[in-house]
Amino acid sequence: MNDRIIYINTNEYEKEVLKGQSVVLDFYSTECPPCEALADKFESLSEIFGNDIKFVKILRQENRPLAESLGVKSSPTLIFFKNGEIVGERLTGDIRRDDIIKNFELLLTEDRYKELLKQVKPVQTSCDVLILGAGPAGLTSAIYAAQAKMDTIVVDIARPGGQVTTTHLVSNYPGFNKPIEGYMLMHYMEEQAKGAGAKTRFSVDVTKVDLAAHKIEIDGFETISAKKIIIASGSSYKPLNVQGEKEYKGQGISYCATCDAKYYEGKDVTVIGGGNSAIEESMFISKFANSITIVHQFDHLQANKTAQEHAFANPKIRFMFEHEPRSFEKTAKGMLVTVEDLKTKEYKKLDTDGVFIFAGMRANLDLFTNSGLELDRWGYVEIDESMHTNIHGVFAVGDVASKQYRQITVAVSEGTIAAINAVKEIETID
């Protein structure tokens, strides 16, 4: 940590923050992955802006009344002060470097801001193995590559952990005889990768990708080149592309039961979908909600038999088979869902408190459009048994790659295979 960052407690707040001229204040917590992801950015920005802006950190757990008086409800939270007044946008969660820099504009004169921006010099980093994605597949590759003493960097556009961090309980990952919370399982994998020596760049923007040249650019200023690239960017929920879905995402429409089910205690919820995720997540939501209506386009569920049996036996769950959503509207109660009966073509209205959408998955490949990667007909990366893609020195593993089953165990096994092959090729061929 450099000496441009100061750590304070509540009794120094007035002197260091309110009486400072231009200040950025970071409310952080311990055991907080997004706080750790922010710490690197905070430090590197303090080296450029630290003569003009005071960089201050305060531990939220030990300074709760101050945090509450400032309305800080999550960690990390960045607040910007100019002459004792709060200015700009309060930033929280996965904080992007660019968003911090944008707020600095309000703390400095126009000329000084432009002058300092010029000092944001491009950085060139090279490594042996660059892993794009820190879910189970990417973190496993990182563990193997780093343990083989490869210079390894793992990049993620969000916090590490991937989809598993939004999974309430995982009961089928070997080694845990009781179900383990998804976030804990991923915390262990992350710690193991870091412990093995893997370097990380989390919550960053990947601003350029050149797979053929084995190079990416992050946050618009750091170019990382590697001998081998392992793509482990996973998959995410497909939107339905139904009217109102985009507008009300996060305001009544959710894609994550672990994150949001707790807000529906005693409420009526509509779930769209009928596959494993829809059914398993509905079971979880039923711990909180009063009733769940599952709207599914087919006349039967696609989920596995055990999940189906549990759902059919759950008195809180009812089914609308052969129905599809047509629009979502916001109401005083929550959401109004218009569904079409696919047999009669009749439109029906469902008055509900909230909607969860689980309508299948898509590969996270937006950043690799036009990169020359060969995809299967469903849009997943084609790989051979060594996890090679069609691009020399580029591997793909886990959910992003073409396969029959997408599970944590499959992701970790592919992460293993790719890393071992990458290491062998670096040691023998390159």
Give the interface with ligand FAD as residue ranges (CB under 6 A): 132-138, 155-158, 162-164, 167, 170, 172, 206, 232-235, 277, 281, 364, 367, 398-400, 406-409, 411
Which residue lies nearer to ligand FAD by CB, 405 or 429? 405
- Report the SS3 class of residue 123: strand
* Cβ nearer to ligand FAD, comparing 50 with 275: 275
Give 61's contacts (C-beta < 8 A, 6+ positions apart). 29, 30
Q: How far is the CB of 34 from ligand FAD (least distance, A)?
A: 12
Q: How far is the C-alpha of 223 from the C-alpha of 396, rounded, in Å?
A: 21
How far, in Å, CA of 393 to CA of 230, rounded?
Answer: 8
Please identify, using beta-carbon distances, which residue of 189 and 295 lies nearer to ligand FAD.
189
Question: Residue 125, SS3?
Answer: strand
Q: Which is nearer to ligand FAD, 75 or 364 (CB)?
A: 364
Tell me whether residue 23 or residue 155 sits nearer to ligand FAD (CB atom): 155
Shortest spacing between CB 47 and ligand FAD, in angstroms: 25
Compute the least distance from the CB of residue 127 to ligand FAD, in Å: 15
In whole angstroms, the minimum distance from the beta carbon of 307 to ligand FAD comes to 11
C-alpha–C-alpha distance, residues 45 and 20, integer Å: 18
Q: Minimum distance from CB of 418 to ligand FAD (Å)?
A: 11
CB of 277 to ligand FAD, least distance (A): 5
298-334: b (≥16 Cβ within 10 Å) or e: eeebbbeeebbebbeeeebbebbbbbbbeebeeeeeb
Count the neighbouring beta carbons within 10 Å of the beta carbon of residue 32.
17
Q: Which of 336, 421, 379, 406 is nearest to 163 (CA)?
A: 406
Please report how close the Cβ of residue 115 comes to ligand FAD at its closest, in angstroms. Answer: 32
Q: What is the DSSP letter of 166?
A: G
Q: In the complex with ligand FAD, which residue's Cβ is closer, 251 or 409?
A: 409
Q: What angle do CA 409, 412, 415 make, to 5 degrees?
A: 150
Q: How far is the CB of 125 from ligand FAD (least distance, A)?
A: 15
CA angle 150/163/403 to nearest 5° reads 75
Closer by beta carbon to ligand FAD, 22 or else 125: 125
Q: Which is nearer to ligand FAD, 111 or 385 (CB)?
A: 385
